[in-house]
Structures are given as structure tokens and as C-alpha cells.
Structure 1
Amino acid sequence: MSPLDAFWHIANLFAPAWGLAALLAAAIKLAWWREAKPLRWWRLWGWGATGGVAAVVISLAVLGRDGRMAGYALLVLGVALPQWWLLSVRR
């Protein structure tokens, strides 16, 4: 495997976490625009993406492979919890 292939392999592993974090950050900015006004979109996305990447790594370590439903459930929690925490701290 070439270095470029390895890069794309790793990027595709984490792409669902990054995409879900971006969608959820955009939804938060649209739905809770008053509460989320002081939060930058990049900050919401960054915390969600970090939680999602951690969830993917944990699910790989625990479950042994990618693509299991329990791993996707952990991914949703990993993305949503940091963003929920950011909004709850603001109140």
C-alpha cells in the first residue's frame, strides 16, 4: 500500500465521524440559533469530530472491525455528547 493509499484509507475510516459532526453542527446552528450564537461552527464541528474519531477508534478496539451497528451507535453518541455539552455549558 502506497502512502497515498494509506492516507485515503484512514480518511475514509474517519469520514463518517467528520460528516456527521458537520451535519449536526449545522443543524444546531439552525435549530438552536439563539443558544448557539456565541459558538462558532468550527468549534462545534471540532468537538463533534474529535468525539466521533474517539468513538471510531474505541469501536475498532472493542469490536475488532469497522461497520458494526454498535460502532455506529457509539459514533452517534461520540459526536452528539460533546456538542450537547457545549450547548449546556452556555446556559
Structure 2
Amino acid sequence: MGPIDAFWHLANLFAPAWGLAALLAGAVKLVWWREAKALRWTRLWAWGSAGGAAAVVLALLVCGRDGAMAGYALLVLGVALPQWWLLSAKR
């Protein structure tokens, strides 16, 4: 595997975490707009992406492969918990 192939392989591994973090950050800014007024969209996305990427790596270590349903559940928690913490810390 060449370096470009390795890059795309890793990018596709983390793409669900980054995409879900972007969708959830947008939903937070739309639904809880009063509470999230002081939070920038990029901050919500960055924290959600970091949590999601950590969850993907943890799921890969625990399950031994990518694509397990438990891994996807961990991905949802990994993206949602940092964004929930950011919202609750602002109150």
C-alpha cells in the first residue's frame, strides 16, 4: 500500500466520525440555538470529531474490526458526549 492509499484508507476510517460530528454540531446550533449561541460551530465539530475518532479507534481495538454495531454505538456516544459537555458547561 502506497502513502496515498494509506491516507485514503485512514480518511475513510474516520469519515463517519467527522460526518456525524458535523451533522450533530449543525443540529445543536439549530435546536439549542440559545444555549449554543456562545459556542462556535467549528468548536462543536472539533470536539465531536475528536471524541468520534477516539471511539472509532477504541471500537477497532475492542471489536477487532471496523463496522461492528457496538462500534457504531460507541461512535455515537463518542461524538455526542463532548458536545453535550460543551453545552452543559455554558450554563
> 5+ residue gaps in structure 2?
none
User: How far apart are residue 81 of structure 1 and its match?
Assistant: 0.2
TM-score, normalised to structure 2, is 0.99
Greater than 2 Å deviation, 4+ residue runs: none
Matches within 5 A, 1:1-91: 1-91=1-91
Question: How many percent identity over aligned positions?
Answer: 79
1:9 partner amino acid: H
Q: 2 CA distance for matches of 1:89 and 1:39?
A: 11
> How far apart, CA to CA, are the structure 2 residues paired with 1:74 and 1:56?
8
Deviation at 1:84, TM superposition (A): 0.2
| Distance in 2, Cα, partners of 1:32 & 1:59 | 30
Other structure's SS at 1:84 match: helix
RMSD of aligned alpha carbons:
0.3
Give, in angstroms, the shift of residue 22 of structure 1: 0.1
Q: CA deviation at 1:19?
A: 0.1
Aligned length: 91
How big is the shift at 1:45? 0.2
Query: Distance between the aligned counterparts of 1:4 and 1:71, measured in 2?
Result: 26
- Distance apart, 1:15 and its partner CA: 0.1
Task: State the TM-score, normalized to the length of structure 1.
Answer: 0.99
